[in-house]
């Protein structure tokens, strides 16, 4: 057994990645897999995405799309285990076992459940409520020590720690304590409503997708909310400056911060500079993404190799878990 710490994270295949996903989570995934101290496992969480309203064909397309985007960002299947959640059905088995030890009230207080129930009021399925249990199963199946995610997921990672504790108290010490790993940018805000997190569920004009062409980025940024007076404190301007810090040269960023402080900032200029910086930053990504999407058989091979690696660990974990709980 390797002594390396296990890093586990997953993402739902629900369309193109946006800059919040990237700065909050996926950029960190790519960095962590370069660190020899960690064994990284990354998963396309298609069972989770079933809590939404997609058709079967949407699902097929979106799994492939997410695989192409993550590879194009630098997830390296030689360094990391990279697979699709439903290809390893043991995840649902462990989730069931965790269902039986999770108090209902713990799920009902999850803010993501409350938010998502509002967003899809016509489809408040049980999966929306129990999804953090499946998430605990995803992480603990691989005895995940660290989970690189954005701020909105912290509550779920805490529930994973609780789940491990409930299980260990009842059946004996088995699962580790899991910790969330945050980046310096754990919460990127919406362009149009910068007091809410950037999320595709509010509409595509709220987000910058990594695949957006430069002219689309500029058009979206032009509509982004700023302050009515230069120099006025504004979450929209703060968000744009944070993006600039991440994608432009330090001197360019410092100049805008200075201009913001002394009230000479021109928002039009800030938006154009930012659009250029983001467009350039993701130019290689856009090209790689197109190439991967043209080679579906390569993507299928990568995912089936990941499935073999992940299955091996999951089967071993489940054998032990079944024994611990007394059903085998």
Q: Give the span between the Cα atoms of 43 and 85, in whole angstroms.
A: 6
Residue 148, Ramachandran bin (φ over 0: left; ψ between -120 and 50: alpha; else beta): beta
Phi first, then psi: give them for residue 209, nearest 5 degrees: -85, 145
Using the contact rule CB under 6 A, the part of the chain among 19-27, 121-129, 219-227, 301-309 near ligand ADP is 19-27
Ramachandran region of residue 242, left (φ > 0), alpha (ψ -120 to 50) or beta? alpha
Catalytic residue among 5, 54, 187, 200: 200
Residue 306 in contact with ligand ADP, rule: CB under 6 A: no
Site membership for ligand ADP, residue 24 (CB under 6 A): yes
135 is in an annotated binding site: no
Is 197 part of any known ligand binding site?
yes
Task: Tell me the two tokens of residue 327.
Answer: 């059903």
* Position 21 contacts ligand ADP (CB under 6 A): yes
Q: How far apart are CA 126 and CA 112, in angstroms?
A: 13
- Residue 116 annotated in active site: yes
86 binds ligand ADP (CB under 6 A): no
193, 194, 263, 278: which is closest to 232 by C-alpha? 263
Of the candidate residues 149, 164, 182, 211, the single one contacting ligand ADP (CB under 6 A): 149
* 295 annotated to bind ligand: no
Catalytic site includes residue 200: yes
Rg (the chain; Cα; Å): 21
Enumerate residues 180-239 that contact ligand ADP by CB under 6 A: 186-188, 197-199
When asked if residue 11 is in the footprint of ligand ADP (CB under 6 A), the reply is yes
Cα 268 versus chain centre, distance: 31
d(CA 143, CA 322): 16
Binding residues for ATP: 12-14, 20-21, 150-152, 188, 197-201
Applying CB under 6 A, the residues found at the interface with ligand ADP are 11-12, 20-21, 23-25, 45, 149-150, 152-153, 186-188, 197-199
Query: Mind telling me the catalytic residues?
Result: 116, 197, 200
């Amino acid at each position: 057994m390797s002594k390396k710490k296990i890093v586990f994270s997953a993402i739902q295949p629900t369309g193109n990645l946006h800059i919040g996903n990237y700065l909050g989570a996926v950029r960190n995934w790519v960095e962590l897999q370069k660190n020899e101290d960690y064994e990284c496992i990354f998963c396309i969480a298609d069972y989770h995405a079933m809590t939404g309203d997609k058709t079967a064909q949407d699902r097929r397309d979106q799994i492939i799309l997410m695989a192409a985007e993550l590879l194009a960002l630098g997830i390296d299947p030689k360094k990391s285990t990279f697979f699709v959640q439903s290809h390893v059905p043991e995840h649902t088995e462990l989730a069931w076992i965790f269902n039986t030890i999770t108090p209902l009230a713990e799920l009902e207080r999850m803010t993501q459940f409350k938010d998502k129930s509002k967003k899809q009021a016509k489809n408040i399925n049980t999966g929306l409520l129990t999804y953090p249990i499946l998430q605990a199963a995803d992480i603990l199946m691989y005895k995940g020590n660290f989970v690189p995610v954005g701020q909105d997921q912290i509550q779920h990672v805490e529930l994973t720690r609780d789940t491990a504790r409930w299980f260990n108290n009842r059946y004996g010490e088995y699962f580790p304590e899991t910790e969330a790993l945050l980046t310096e940018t754990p919460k990127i805000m919406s362009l149009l409503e910068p007091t809410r997190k950037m999320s595709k569920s509010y509409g595509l004009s709220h987000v910058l997708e990594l695949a957006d062409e430069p002219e689309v980025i500029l058009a979206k940024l032009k509509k982004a909310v700023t302050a009515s007076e230069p120099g006025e404190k504004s979450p929209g301007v703060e968000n744009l400056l944070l993006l600039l810090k991440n994608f432009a040269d330090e001197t360019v960023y410092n100049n805008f911060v200075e201009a913001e402080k002394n009230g000479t900032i021109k928002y039009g200029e800030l938006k154009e500079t930012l659009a250029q910086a983001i467009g350039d930053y993701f130019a290689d990504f856009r090209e790689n993404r197109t190439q991967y999407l043209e080679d579906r058989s390569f993507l299928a091979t990568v995912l089936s190799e990941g499935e073999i690696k992940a299955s091996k660990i999951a089967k071993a974990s489940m054998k032990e878990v079944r024994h611990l709980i007394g059903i085998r």
